[in-house]
Amino acid sequence: MSELSTTPTPSPSPAPPATTPPRHNWWARYNATSPVTLTVLALILGVVIGAVIITVTSAPVLDSWRHSFHHVGSFAGTLKLTFDTVAAAYRAMVTGSILDPTLFVHAITTGHGWSQTLTPLSETLTYATPLVIASIGVGIAFQTGIFNIGANGQAILGAIVGTAVASMIHLPMIWHLPLTLVAGVVGGAVCGLVPGALKAYTGAHEVIVTLMFNYVINAILIYALTSTALQLPGQSNDISRNFDSTATLNPLFGTKSGLRVSYGIFVAAAVVVFAVWFLKRSSLGFDFRVTGANPHAARASGINPKTIVLAVFLVSGGLAGLAGVVQAASTTHYIDGGFLIGSAGIGFTAITIALLGRLQPVGIVWGSLLFAALGVGGRAMQAATGIPLDLATIIQSVVVLFVASPVLITEIFRLRSRAQSFQLANKGWGS
């Protein structure tokens, strides 16, 4: 029934009337549970759970705990060891993804080592770029009440088409790079059109279709990469030809700087601006939002739901495809069989980031930066302390679980005013 609704769901127990707290009262503001507060609290919970996981899986820490049960005096030492282990991990995570203060001070005082100091930030931005683009695509679909779980497949197809254009056509950069990016958009949009058309014309549920389509695209990726057209000549592995140098998104500060952050961030910025304009100012965006808010009203006011479904999948898939080609054009300059597969699947991360950013473009930028920082920091943590980078993914998952259920957070932290329960369209397969 509620096929296309993003109506805010009432929280299970009746919410007390919301009162605007006085601005100066810190505690009252804490209790007001803004989206930012909720996200920060979720992050705190994620970090705490991560700390527990580090503690119970670290052999020296566990040994020390066992020891301290037999020898009374060593308890303080055990606590210190536990704290140090956890702190070292998180310190590596922060310094590896944002800024290392010692390197920063060194760079300021001596004027050298700026590249090393800025590398963490550059990496975080590099990782965040495709995430922003893909998540905005998913967010626009969510706002219309459409669940696009297939962003990953769309990104992969976008990258395949983009790679084909980037490696098989030879043009000057002024044409080649835009054409490559457009090819990515087209690839993603075509891939999105299939579930869109099936939903519009047969009523097939888009969650099932897009979910299944991801795996179809994974197979197509392998097929494409082992075809003579796309495979790197002389290779038998599933690896593509390289992008022409005229089709890559080059590092912002030149290749010599060692910083990977590329012109891709301008693409992402353009997408953010486009999304804000599209949703707030354009007529199609208005139709999208109306359909998301109340599909029946939308239909009654003359908006054709089929057109909307098709348009949503074109926009959402196109953006996912752009994300895929930006990922390839700004980092590796080729794609291989592991592209966006498994934990590297930006399409799946995009779903969670869209939720984290409450479907709003600006919120999504912050969400992407947070997730990218966690991912990059996880790598640094693994390098520095040997704790597997999967810890970052665990924290990400925990954060999203909590953000997805604000009621749980208000219960845990005993917040006085109930969270304005933000909920995605809860979509049934049966609807």
The residues of the shown chain that bind another protein, judged by CB under 8 A, are 1-4, 9-10, 12, 53, 57-59, 147, 149, 198-200, 202-205, 207-209, 211-213, 215-216, 218-220, 222-223, 295-296, 299-300, 305-306, 309, 342-343, 348, 351-352, 355, 387-388, 390-391, 393-394, 396-398, 400-401, 404-405, 407-408, 423-431
DSSP state of 282: -
Burial letters 97-131, b for 16+ CB under 10 A, else e: beebeebbebbeeeeeebeebbbbbbbbbbbbbbb
Question: What residues contact 213, with CB distance under 8 A and at least 6 apart?
Answer: 150, 153, 191, 194, 195
* 195 token code pair: 């579930």
**Least Å from the CB of residue 134 to another protein:** 14
Q: Kindly tell me which of 270 and 383 has the beta carbon lying closer to another protein.
A: 383
In DSSP notation, 287-350 reads HHHHHHH-HHHHHHTT--HHHHHHHHHHHHHHHHHHHHHHHIIIIISS-BTTTT-GGG-HHHHH
> CA 97, 101, 104, 109: dihedral to nearest 10 degrees?
-170
**Least Å from the CB of residue 304 to another protein:** 10
Q: Kindly tell me which of 34 and 57 has the beta carbon lying closer to another protein.
A: 57
**Least Å from the CB of residue 80 to another protein:** 21
**Least Å from the CB of residue 3 to another protein:** 5
Q: Kindly tell me which of 240 and 352 has the beta carbon lying closer to another protein.
A: 352
Give the three-state DSSP class for 200. Answer: helix
**Residue owning tokens 């057109």:** 307
Q: What is the largest CA-CA distance in the chain?
A: 77
Q: Kindly tell me which of 173 and 404 has the beta carbon lying closer to another protein.
A: 404
**Least Å from the CB of residue 371 to another protein:** 12
CA distances from residue 163 to 151, 224, 243, 336, 380 in whole angstroms, order as listed: 18, 11, 6, 11, 30
Q: Kindly tell me which of 223 and 266 has the beta carbon lying closer to another protein.
A: 223
Q: Kindly tell me which of 265 and 355 has the beta carbon lying closer to another protein.
A: 355
Give the three-state DSSP class for 345. Answer: coil
Q: Kindly tell me which of 226 and 250 has the beta carbon lying closer to another protein.
A: 226
Q: Looking at this protein, which amino acid is placed at residue 27?
A: W
**Least Å from the CB of residue 307 to another protein:** 11
**Least Å from the CB of residue 216 to another protein:** 5
